[in-house]
Structure 1
Amino acid sequence: MKRSLDRKTKIALEPRKQPRQQRSSKVVDRILDAALILTREQGTKTPTTLAIAQRAGLSVGSVYQYFPNKEAILLELGRRWLSSFPEVIAKRIKVAPPTNREEFRREVRKLFIDTSRIYLDNATLMPVIEAISGNADLRPIQDEYDKDIIALYAAWLQHVNPALEEKSAKRLGLVMMEVGHACRLVGLKRDRKTFDLIEDDVEAMWLALVTPYLNLD
């Protein structure tokens, strides 16, 4: 059963205050950097607030001024990564739809270049994303981002083929997101050459999956 967050839980996971001055922003960055380092060291084990404070060189009270708990810290890290994808996918919807398979292939390549850069530039965040996926309190929030990404993929496919049924477009969007993410995680744990080869494989799978639905010459 899909779990959702009630209003009380959502509030409990929100940052307590947003930094308004440069000094406050630096403190928040120290907290987030410390959480990221600890998560990388501990794998999918969630670091405690005390450990984060100690690694950041701050008191626990200072951390609690900005974040109510460790889940809120991890969520803020994850949000910075997850929020990068919708804009990149939406760019493909804003351009004229391709009229043939070669034009669509080029559009897919542009999308892969943009999304691959997000993964490569934020490779150190992958343990955080995995930690969020394994945390019962945080997973529903990632599900909300996933839902938005699937909807954007579906909208892109319908932009290419307006006759494509929404149900089919969303199913394809789900497969595109899940396969792309899982394979890229594998690539990031290897080396850059392997990552690039896996990217090519995923791109080929995407094209084979969706092209029959797009009514392209």
Structure 2
Amino acid sequence: MSSKSALKPAGTRRVPQQERGVKTIEVILQAAGQEIERGGLAKLTTKRIATAAGLSVGGLYEYFPNKEAVVHALASRWLEQIKDAIAAVHPAKTGCQDLVRYLTMVFEAVKPHYQQVPGVSGLISVLSSVPELQALEDEIDVQVNGLLADAIASLVPHVDAAQCMTMARALTILDHYLLIEAILRDPANAALYDEHHRVCQYALATNLMLMNERARAAALAKQP
């Protein structure tokens, strides 16, 4: 989308208070994702979204002022869903006590949001080109990294906070780009990407667990 279009209002025209309105918003977003999947962002129009949603263009405009607002809502929801998926597998909620297992749980929780969301490739491409969405992505990244760092710190309590945050950021980057390659760009080699992901994940976890044990042993050695 052009920078000009990105400056248009991004929010909905009105926030639905009734169940019917909430469902209509869901139908519109689902239809937009399917249209992005079929024709890409370049061919996306309010008319195509409305038709796919079974609405008139006027009916669509009751909820969204333009197609950019629909794409913004779709991208916002995708980012929030990923954050919520990661929050749901925090050790405080699952009782997980193993770092390798936790990292696998994070990956498996996030993976469906790359596999099953229509138009996700288009949403990913637009995040960096629309300043408002880039700001939202940055905000969600901070929250996600905070969740991951907190979870990692609970599993390797003798590792300092800076190392846990670095691990969280590395994990975010690793998962995101390998999922893009395995699901969106090169699905024929998805099994190979998964295998390499497991190796990288295990290496990261093993390094942090060794650091934890060394720091624990050093702390014990200082005790009288």
**TM-score range, shorter-chain basis?**
0.7 to 0.9
Flag the 1:124–1:135 CA change in 2: closer, same or farther, 3 A. same
User: Is residue 143 of structure 1 aligned with residue 138 of structure 2?
Assistant: yes
Does the Cα contact within 8 Å between 1:188 and 1:195 map onto a contact in 2? Answer: yes
Equivalent residue number for residue 211 of structure 1: 206
Aligned-pair CA distance for 1:49: 3.2
Find the structure with the greater CA-based Rg.
Answer: 2
Alignment equivalent of 2:38, drawn from 41, 47, 56: 41
Unmatched segments (≥5 aa) in structure 1: 1-8
Partners of 1:67 and 1:59 lie apart in 2 by 12
- Equivalent of residue 152 in structure 2, options 154, 157, 176: 157
One-letter identity of the residue aligned with 2:58: G
- In structure 2, do the counterparts of structure 1 residues 137 and 115 end up closer, same or farther at CA, with 3 Å as the change threshold? closer
Pairs within 5 Å for 1:65-214:
65-90=62-87, 91-94=89-92, 95-96=94-95, 98=97, 103-122=98-117, 124-189=119-184, 190-191=186-187, 194-214=189-209
Q: Cα gap change, 1:156/1:46 in structure 2, threshold over 3 Å: closer, same or farther?
A: farther
Task: Read off the aligned partner of 1:79 and give its amino acid letter.
Answer: S
Distance 1:44 1:181, change over 3 A: farther
Q: Tell whether the 8 Å contact from 2:157 to 2:212 is kept in structure 1 after alignment.
A: no
Gap change, CA 1:44 and 1:131, over 3 Å in 2: farther
1:203, distance to aligned residue in structure 2 (A):
2.6
Against the structure 1 CA distance between its residues 89 and 30, is the aligned structure 2 distance closer, same or farther, given a 3 Å change threshold?
closer
CA contact (8 A) 2:99 2:205 kept: no
| Percent of paired sites with the same residue | 26
- The two structures have a TM-score, normalised by structure 2, of 0.74
User: Contact 2:76–2:136 (CA<8 Å) still a contact in 1?
Assistant: no
- Number of aligned residue pairs: give it: 203
